[in-house]
Amino acid sequence: MSVIEFIILAIALSFEALIVMHGCTKQTTIKLTKGLAESFVMALVNTLLLLLGIFLGNLLKFTPDVPDSGGGSTSSLLADTDNLVYLGLMILVAVRLLFRSGKKSRQVQPYDVSRFGTAFLLGVAVGVNTLFVGLAVGFRVPLSENMWRAAIPILVLMTLFAFLGVMLGRQQKDIRARRYTLFAVLFLLAFALKGALWG
């Protein structure tokens, strides 16, 4: 996978961090420097979960990283199975987000994000989808050549998106959470179809 693909994936996963941090900081006063640090903690947790997912996907996938020259139709069938698992996991994450966006109220339960422990737990909560996406990616790409390509975009972009949520929340600006979630769903579905159909 290219860096551009991982950037698109990171953007899709970062919308939820923006929504969560906006909802929390709208209710809790927090300094910008602390907000940036909390945003980084959330992004770091998600980066580690993405890498964990890719690692587990590599362990669980049906085809080896080095293809067997005598595999024939069997290796082709296993590769198709990997693609189906990839597509299924990506659609699962998209459906989870779509279900949330379909709720009449996308109000985020306000948590006190002035504590790093809370930011860590919110990072884990947001990171469930990130873990599933990492697992899906692990079924399609080798771990060794994609560690940094996967880690840097999500660490940087999720920090920026979460911090944008902090700034908007501090200014009591309203955001259309459902619209952001739908953007994330579209990004993920396009990414899933592109990977499954065109590699």
What is the DSSP annotation of 135-165?
Answer: HHHHTTS-STTTHHHHHHHHHHHHHHHHHHH
Percentage of residues in the chain with pLDDT exceeding 70?
A: 84
What pLDDT does 46 receive?
Answer: 95
Q: For the residues 106-118, what does the mean pLDDT come to?
A: 70
DSSP one-letter code for 94:
H
What pLDDT does 39 receive?
Answer: 93
The answer on pLDDT for 195 being more than 70 is: no
What pLDDT does 108 receive?
Answer: 55
For residue 193, give every residue at least 6 positions away whose Cβ sits within 8 Å of its Cβ, in sequence order, or none.
Answer: 87
Whole-structure pTM value: 0.83
- What is the spatial distance between Cα 121 and Cα 80, in angstroms, rounded to a whole number? 36
DSSP one-letter code for 108:
P
Burial class (CB within 10 angstroms; exposed 0-12, middle 13-18, buried 19+) of 92: middle
Q: For the residues 98-124, what does the mean pLDDT come to?
A: 73
Instruction: List, for residues 135-185, the tens digit of each pLDDT value.
Output: 988 888 776 666 888 899 999 999 999 999 999 988 888 888 788 888 888
What pLDDT does 183 receive?
Answer: 84
DSSP one-letter code for 167:
H
Instruction: List, for residues 19-58, the tens digit of each pLDDT value.
Output: 988 888 887 778 888 989 999 999 999 999 999 999 998 8
Show me where the domains of the chain are located: 3-64+74-198
